[in-house]
């Protein structure tokens, strides 16, 4: 094995590739799970040590030089695995990401009395100040043994919830 092959292996070039196949859409509840599947392929024999699943939102506000982008992870889970991926082998994996998009104002508004009224006012006030674009994504990463470069894929998802 030459130096060039070792460098390619260390950088995961020609190694494990991850592709998200599907994510069940739209996401229509504030509390629930995102379900989907992905596949792993490789041109060389490799081993995957861990899967990491993330459900995230990227909010963009402003324009030009005033543009502000903020990424927030709604939910993240990891799963330790020992999956050998052989040459030209295709491995399909199902995943689930439990999430909770309820904020403090949502929980307060469900209560009665003064706390409920304060929660409803807080929800209304937060809606008035919103002037950005929110894009939701599911991201899946596979930690490949022997390389610092993970195999990663990201897919946009539709969220039909008043968040």
pLDDT digits (tens, 9 = 90+) for 80-138: 999 999 998 999 999 999 999 886 444 445 555 555 555 555 555 555 445 668 899 99
Q: What local confidence, expressed as pLDDT, does residue 102 receive?
A: 80
**CATH fourth-level superfamily of 3-157:** Immunoglobulins (2.60.40.10)
Nearest to 135 by CA among 152, 150, 155, 119: 155
Strand 46-61 and strand 68-85: the pairing is antiparallel
Q: How far apart are CA 58 and CA 47, in angstroms?
A: 31
């Amino acid at each position: 094995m030459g130096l060039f092959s070792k460098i390619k292996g260390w950088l995961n070039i020609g190694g494990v590739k991850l592709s998200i196949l599907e994510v069940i859409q739209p996401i229509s509840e504030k509390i629930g799970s995102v379900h989907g599947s992905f596949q792993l392929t490789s041109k060389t024999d490799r081993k995957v040590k861990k899967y990491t699943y993330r459900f995230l939102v990227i909010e963009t506000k402003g324009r030009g030089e005033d543009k502000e982008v903020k990424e927030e992870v709604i939910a993240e889970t990891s799963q330790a695995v020992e999956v050998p991926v052989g040459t030209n082998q295709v491995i399909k994996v199902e995943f689930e990401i439990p999430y909770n998009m309820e904020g403090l104002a949502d929980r307060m508004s469900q209560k009665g009395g003064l706390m409920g009224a304060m929660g409803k006012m807080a929800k209304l006030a937060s809606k008035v100040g919103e002037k950005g674009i929110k894009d939701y994504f599911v991201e899946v990463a596979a930690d490949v043994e022997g390389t610092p470069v993970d195999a990663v894929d990201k897919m946009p998802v539709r969220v039909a919830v008043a968040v």
